Amino acid sequence: MDADSPLDWDLSELQGTTIVRLSGVLNIGAYGALRDVLLKCAADQPRAVIVDLEELEIAQDRLTSVFVAVWLRISQWSTVALVVVPGPAHAALSRHGPMRRFVSVRPTVLDALASLGEPPPRRRTELWLPSSPRSVGASAPFVADTCGNWSIEPMAAPAVTVAGELVANAAEHARSPARLRLELRLGRLTVAVADDDARPVALPRPGRKSPAPRSGLRLVAHLAHAAGWSPRQSGGKIVWAVLRPRHAQPEPASGPRL
């Protein structure tokens, strides 16, 4: 809980999911705090984040857009499901509000758990690396071999570069071991590196037209379709970048994944 916020939350784990039970008041001042705690929970990569609103007062209906905002951020790079349990006081809101178009809504936490099916088809692998400049070299063959095994060889070169820059950033600035994760879904490759340092990362916005930088996080942003970072609830942060084939067609917008 944030001492300056009228909002309180309790976190628990059950069947590989993170359950966030909210109480107090969701007002405009608490909007950012709730967004951040949900993003932190998702960054730890549970099976799902289930948000229980039964004891929460919502000052304005429009503030439920926080769940859409969180879902949009998560869905860029992760298969973590976001499920909202509105409780009796918010049942009508969940049926008719815009949140229902994007976020899965279930009547109880137990029903939310029972409704979780298999995640969307994906491939995923991880490599733990020590806090050392040599870790950059160790990441290259791991990424290249994975791209070969997954039959996405054209993405190998940018993936190796992005992984190397993210691992180097963790070794130089976070000074902690790094966990390199590769995940392939819907033709897009996520390269993510988790470390033990929660300090913010100055990651440029992807897609800006400028000469390609030679190294650093600017190079990551230059190569990525999307990129970002988030602190983790368990401590530290995760920095991620999403790569896609150069000539891939844009995907249609989708609703809840459950």
Q: What class has domain 7-115?
A: alpha beta
Instruction: Report the SS3 class of residue 166.
Output: helix
Average pLDDT over residues 70-78: 90
pLDDT of residue 68: 92
For the chain, the average pLDDT equals: 85
CA distances from 240 to 94, 129, 200, 202 (A): 31, 16, 13, 13
Categorize the per-residue pLDDT at 139 as very low, low, confident or very high, splitting at 50, 70 and 90: very high
The token duo for 78 is 């992760």
pLDDT at 238: 93
Task: Give the separation between CA 20 and CA 154, rounded to whole angstroms.
Answer: 40
Share of the chain above pLDDT 90, in %: 50
Domains 7-115 and 123-243 share a fold: no
Question: Look-up: residue for tokens 């809980």?
Answer: 1
Domain residue spans of the chain: 7-115, 123-243
For the sheet containing 7-14, what is the strand order? Answer: 7-14, 17-26, 48-58, 81-85, 104-105
Instruction: Give Cβ neighbours of residue 75 (< 8 Å, ≥ 6 apart).
Output: 257
- The architecture that CATH gives domain 123-243 is 2-Layer Sandwich (3.30)
The larger pLDDT score, comparing residue 98 to residue 251, is at 98
Whole-number pLDDT of residue 87: 76
Give the pLDDT confidence of 142-170 residue by residue, as tens digits: 999 999 999 999 999 999 999 999 999 88
List, for residues 174-203, the tens digit of each pLDDT value: 788 889 999 998 889 999 999 998 888 877
The per-residue pLDDT for range 102-114, each reduced to its tens digit, is 888 898 999 999 9
How far apart CA 47 and CA 118 sit, in angstroms, is 9
Give the mean model confidence (pLDDT) for residues 20-40: 94
Q: Residue 132 has what pLDDT?
A: 83
Q: In the predicted model, what is the mean pLDDT of residues 214-220?
A: 82
Predicted confidence (pLDDT) at residue 247 exceeds the cutoff of 50: no
Say what the pLDDT of residue 254 is: 41
Closest listed residue to residue 251, CA positions, set 120, 121, 79, 76: 76
Q: Is the pLDDT of residue 17 over 80?
A: yes
Cα separation, 183 vs 131, whole angstroms:
22
